[in-house]
A = this chain, B = another copy of it.
Amino acid sequence: MGVENTGGVTRTEKRAAGRGRPRSRDGGSEDTRRDLLVAAGELFLDRGVARTTMSAIAERAGINQSSAYYWFAGKEAVLAALAEDNRASLKVAREQAAADAPAADRLYRVVRADIAQMLTMALPFHEFERAATASPEDFPSFAADYAELRRLLAVVIASGVASGEFPAVSPQSGADSVIALAEGLALRHYGAADRAGDVAHLGAEMAVRMMTSSPVPAARARLAVEADG
């Protein structure tokens, strides 16, 4: 698994680099749409949704207004596109919670989809979450989507425990840990589109390993730590 740590390169630097790259200005490329989403996300974070206008979004993206309106009818459409960005893995989770394959396979698919989604979103997930939490009226489905993803992961894990495929684990703690692993990888590797597939597979593998392991070594290690006081 050739996943390299990004080391000292922060998303701030990545974004700064992104802003400087040559842009197509014909308004017709998918890059233009993405530049608008990134610019909108940054403005929503910096000044809030209410104080962000389409012209400010277009200006920050370095795109003229008529081209911006080619892609989005208005600010509401930009918001909707950003929110939709966040729902691809939920669709996979719904399918897998109801599917009939081994729990490990289903967990693998959901985690892989979730990491792949976060690595290709227009904003890093934790910043998207910040924008959504700051103005829930503008991102009405965010909190419910997040809760549903966590619930569906717990359903998959619980079914693996019930069938004996996974050794004892609390489905809620398992889901929390799997989400934390996915978010941690997304935080560390955001912006590295060329490695997104490898990172998604690594996270999915490690999530399955967490759930398929015997809890005995961890319980013994905890006892050893607690014996020290």
Chain A residues in the interface with B (C-beta under 8 A): 1, 3, 5, 7-10, 12-13, 101-102, 104-105, 107-109, 112, 126, 129-130, 133-134, 136, 143, 146-147, 150, 165, 169-170, 172-173, 176-177, 179-185, 187-188, 201-206, 208-215, 217-222, 224-225
A147: which B residues are within 8 A, CB to CB?
Answer: 7
- Which residue from B104, B184, B205 sits with its C-beta under 8 Å from A182? B184
Q: Known contacts A170-B1, A221-B105; is A8 also within 8 Å of B133 by CB? A: yes
A102: which B residues are within 8 A, CB to CB?
Answer: 217, 220-221
- Which residue from B1, B12, B181, B215 sits with its C-beta under 8 Å from A181? B181
- State the CA gap A22–B1 with chains docked (Å): 50
- State the CA gap A96–B170 with chains docked (Å): 28
- Which residue from B134, B170, B212, B214 sits with its C-beta under 8 Å from A218? B212
Taking the nearest CB of chain B, how far is it from the CB of A74, in angstroms?
A: 26
- CB pair A224 B184 closer than 8 Å: no
Instruction: Return the chain B residue nearest A200 by Cβ.
Output: B225
- State the CA gap A70–B182 with chains docked (Å): 43
- CB pair B177 A13 closer than 8 Å: no
A107: which B residues are within 8 A, CB to CB?
Answer: 221
Task: Name which of A9, A108, A130, A169 has the most chain B CB atoms within 10 A of its CB.
Answer: A108
Taking the nearest CB of chain B, how far is it from the CB of A152, in angstroms?
A: 14
User: Top 6 nearest A-B pairs by Cβ distance?
Assistant: A184-B184, A180-B184, A108-B221, A213-B213, A209-B213, A208-B218
Task: Name which of A1, A5, A188, A221 has the most chain B CB atoms within 10 A of its CB.
Answer: A221
- State the CA gap A129–B8 with chains docked (Å): 8
- CB pair B177 A203 closer than 8 Å: yes
